[in-house]
Amino acid sequence: MQFAKVIGHAALKAKLIGNIREGRVAHAQLFMGPRGCGNLPLALAYAQYLLCEAPDVADSCGTCPSCLQMQKLEHPDLHLAFPIFFTEKVKVCEPFIPDWRAKVIAEPYTDLDHWRESLESENKQLRMGVDIAQEVQRKLSLKSFRGGYKVSVIWLPELMDVPAANKLLKSLEEPEPNTVFLLVSNDPDQLLATILSRTQLVKVPALRPGEVSEVLRSKFPELSAEDAQMIALRSEGDLLEAISIAQQGEEELFVFFRDWLRACYGAKVAEASEFGEQFQKMGRENQKALLNYGLYLIRQCVFQEQAVPELVRAIGEELEFVRKFSALLSPRNAEGIRAELERSYVHVERNANPKLLFMDMSYRMMGLLRKGR
C-alpha cells in the first residue's frame, strides 16, 4: 500500500517519510489511533516505503519488485501477526495469513469484528498467545531476504495475553539488527506499560469529516452531498462506522431511533416490542451501529440542553429532533440514557439475546424519560 492510497493525514505522512529519509527509523513504533482512523494502512504504507528500492520524496515507487510484493502483502521481509482463534492444533498466525492478506487488501480500514466475521467465527474469541510472540521472534531471527530491513507488523497487540506480551517485550528489548516493529493499536491503554515505554508513539488522529464524506461519495455515488456530510459528522471520523451507516441507509438509523424514543416516551410497550423484533433482525454489526448512532444523537441533545448549541453538529431533520428531544432531558436522566445505550452496546458485543436486551433497554428508557419531565 502506498501513502497515496491512505486517506488524509498529510502532515503525519510527510513526517514519517522525512524520518525515514533522514535515517531516523525507530526499531519499535506504535501506530495508535481510534477505530477507522487508518493506522493499519498507514503502518503498511510506512513498511512499503521502508522496503521500496526506489522511493522518492513523497512515496514509495509502487513499481519495484519490493513494492509489487508489498502490494500483495507478500514481501518476504514483511512479517505479520494478528489475533486469531485458537484450535487444538493451531495457535500461530501462519495458517491464517492468506485470509488476513485478502481481508486487509480488500478493506485496509478493518477492525477486529470485521476480521472475525471474515473468518466465520462469530462467537469465537480472537486472541494472541505466547506461540504467536514466539512465531514473531523466530521469523525475525531469519536473515533478511533482500538485504534490507525486516519489518514485523503486529496488529492489535493489545489482545496479547501476558506471557505473549512479555515475550514480545523481550524481542523489543533485544532486537535483531535491521528489525523494525510496527505495532498497530486501537486501544493502547490495554498494552503493558513496559511495551509502551519501548515504542516510539505515532499518534494517528481520527479522520476529518470532509475526508470521510469524500470517501462516502465515491463509494456510494447515490448519496447526496448533504447526506454524506451528515454521516461523516455522525461517525466522528471513524470510516468503518461511516460506511456501516451508509450501507444501512443513513435515514433509517435516524428514523428507527427517533420513532423508538417516541414510543418509549409514550410508554407504548407493544410498539417498543415491534422495534425489538426489528432490532433482532438487524445483525450484530448493524445493532452496534444503531446504538453508536443513538449515543451520538443523545450527545447532541445534551449539548443543546446544556445551552451550548455551537457544539451541536446535527443538521436538517436531525437538528429538528435534537431541539425537541433535548427539552425532555435533564442532568438527572441524560446520564442514565447514555449509560443505558453504552451498556446495551457492550451486551451486543458479548452476544446477548438481542430482543430481550432491546426490551430491557426500552423499559428502562421509558422510566428515564418519565424522570426527566
Which residue ranges make up the site for Zn ion (CB under 5 A)? 52, 60-61, 64, 67
Cα radius of gyration (the chain): 23
Q: Choose between 67 and 81: whose C-beta lies nearer to Zn ion.
A: 67
Smallest distance, Å, CB 52 to Zn ion?
A: 3
Bin 66: left if φ > 0, else alpha if -120 < ψ < 50, else beta.
alpha
From residue 159, alpha-carbon distances to 42, 115, 165, 227, 255 in Å are: 20, 14, 9, 36, 36
Smallest distance, Å, CB 231 to Zn ion?
A: 35
Q: Choose between 5 and 343: whose C-beta lies nearer to Zn ion.
A: 5
For residue 109, give the C-alpha cell: 480500514
Nearest residue to 207 via CA among 22, 82, 33: 33
Smallest distance, Å, CB 61 to Zn ion?
A: 3
What residue type is 153 in one-letter code?
Answer: V
Nearest residue to 146 via CA among 81, 75, 97, 94: 75
Q: CA-CA distance, 208 to 205, in Å (whole number)?
A: 9
Smallest distance, Å, CB 49 to Zn ion?
A: 8
Q: Choose between 43 and 298: whose C-beta lies nearer to Zn ion.
A: 43
Smallest distance, Å, CB 56 to Zn ion?
A: 9
- Cβ-contact 291, 345 below 8 angstroms: yes
- Cβ-contact 333, 368 below 8 angstroms: yes
From residue 347, alpha-carbon distances to 104, 273, 294, 340, 341 in Å are: 27, 18, 15, 11, 10
Smallest distance, Å, CB 62 to Zn ion?
A: 6
